[in-house]
Chains A and B, each alone.
Chain A
């Protein structure tokens, strides 16, 4: 069965600090997708990234970067020079293509608070 673990329940940083959100996953599939979503207080999920299991290249998008390591089943998310607007709950999610019909399994989420 697929499982996603976000061990950090809450993180609090001061503006301009870098912060890394951890995500560890479990799956028996060889083909799967990993996602990160941001959920601000309004509740609407904001898509950040999708990575397929065959692409281990790290990705950078502005202040955001992602480190995908299949050897440790991790897909960590780093925000560089954090800003107050980054405050939100961040979810990591896994979608197995072969066994689960692309259903999404979410981690428990990490509440990030960026203080001025």
Chain B
């Protein structure tokens, strides 16, 4: 089956720093990738939809200047949390949609802790 990786799997940073999370589709091309955020004991909330070669579409209430998304190739999308604060601590999950299929394949997630 299709595999999506995320790096890093876990990151701890100081308040005010920026953190970049990578999402890669390893064995297929993904014109569309999605970024989700999950708080403890909560559901996944879609943050943004990332299309290769164009600007990301952010969900209502998500600050685009804080969560920068770049989808420069068909196999890589990055999420940068800028000037991170403790309230940004969360589990971030990406998914990639194979070009030929509507199904999304999920990465293993990145646990961000901001001190």
A residues in contact (CB < 8 Å) with B: 33, 37, 42-45, 47, 50, 91, 95, 97, 101-109, 111
Contact = CB atoms under 8 A, between A and B. Distances in A.
Question: Which 5 pairs between the two chains have the least Cβ-Cβ distance?
Answer: A45-B106, A44-B108, A43-B109, A106-B43, A106-B44
Contact of A102 (B93, B102, B105, B108): B102
A97 B106 contact: no
Nearest to A37: B106
A104 B104 contact: yes
25 contacts: A33-B102, A37-B106, A43-B91, A43-B111, A44-B108, A44-B109, A45-B44, A45-B93, A45-B106, A47-B103, A47-B106, A91-B44, A97-B102, A101-B49, A102-B32, A102-B104, A103-B34, A104-B104, A106-B44, A106-B45, A107-B43, A108-B42, A108-B43, A109-B43, A111-B41
Contacts, number: 48
Question: Interface residues of B toward A: which range?
Answer: 20 to 34
A43 B108 contact: yes
A84 B76 CA distance: 37
Interface string B75-113: 000000000000000010101010000111110110100
Interface of B: 32, 34, 41-46, 49, 91, 93, 95, 97, 102-106, 108-109, 111
Given A37-B106, A103-B34, 18 more contacts: A33-B102, A33-B103, A42-B108, A43-B93, A43-B111, A47-B103, A50-B103, A95-B104, A102-B104, A104-B104, A105-B46, A106-B43, A106-B44, A106-B45, A108-B42, A109-B42, A109-B43, A111-B41
B25 to A, nearest CB: 15
Given A50-B103, A95-B102, A102 B97 contact: yes
A103 B44 contact: no
A37 B103 CA distance: 12
Nearest to A9: B41
Contacts of A95: 102, 104
